[in-house]
């Protein structure tokens, strides 16, 4: 059976998104390496900073690691001053992990570097290409979040 034009387009979109993500990783790698944070700690910090508080169990599930490993990573982030572990006021048996101001600033700094690269790349595109990309990415974001109007 012949492949449809849409199937080819979808495959091309997936390949292109992967290329953009790989390039963002490549250009930001030097900044990440300068931090001296192991990858596990950096992933945990970004995950923690993206929420209002994580339990160790929830963080372990989000990262796909065991609870003992998540607890160790959190302890290392607490020692570095990037995370804080507090007792959950609603359940005293549960600890909640949040990013400290220093942790939030670090994650914000890393994200700013990504934004700068994206803005640089967008600056090399024509106005028509930027408009088309904005429309397409908006539609994809709506589909991803389930917020389409249909």
Domain boundaries in the chain?
36-144
CATH 1.10.10.10 for domain 36-144, yes or no, is yes
Phi–psi pair at 98, nearest 5 degrees: -130, 160
Q: What was the pLDDT predicted at 43?
A: 92
CA 60 to chain centroid, in Å, comes to 16
Q: Look at residue 98 and give its three-state secondary structure.
A: strand
Q: Rounded distance, CA 58 to CA 117, Å?
A: 32
Instruction: Identify the DSSP state of 54.
Output: B
Q: Rounded distance, CA 68 to CA 74, Å?
A: 10
Longest distance between any two alpha carbons in the chain, whole Å: 60
pTM: 0.70
| Of 42, 37, 58, 61, residue with least CA distance to 99 | 42
Q: Look at residue 90 and give its three-state secondary structure.
A: coil
- Joined together, the tokens standing for residue 52 give 């209002």
Contact 98, 83 (CB under 8 A): yes
Mean pLDDT in consecutive groups of 10 residues from the start of the chain, 150 residues? 83 92 86 84 94 89 94 96 88 87 92 87 94 93 76
CA distances (Å), origin 113, targets 5, 30, 41, 139: 36, 11, 19, 25
Element (H, E) at 41: helix 39-49
Q: What was the pLDDT predicted at 3?
A: 75
């Amino acid at each position: 059976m012949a492949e449809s034009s849409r199937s080819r387009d979808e495959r091309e979109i997936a390949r292109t998104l992967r290329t953009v993500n790989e390039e963002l990783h490549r250009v930001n790698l030097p900044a990440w390496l300068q931090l001296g944070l192991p990858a596990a700690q950096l992933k945990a910090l970004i995950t923690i900073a993206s929420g209002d508080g994580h339990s160790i169990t929830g963080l372990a599930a989000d990262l796909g690691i065991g609870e003992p490993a998540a607890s160790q990573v959190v302890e290392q982030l607490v020692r570095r001053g990037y995370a804080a572990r507090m007792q959950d006021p609603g359940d005293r048996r549960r600890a909640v992990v949040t990013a400290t101001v220093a942790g939030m600033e670090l994650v914000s700094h890393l994200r700013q570097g990504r934004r700068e690269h994206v803005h640089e790349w967008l600056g090399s595109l024509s106005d028509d290409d930027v408009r088309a990309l904005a429309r397409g990415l908006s539609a994809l974001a709506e589909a991803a979040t389930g917020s389409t109007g249909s």
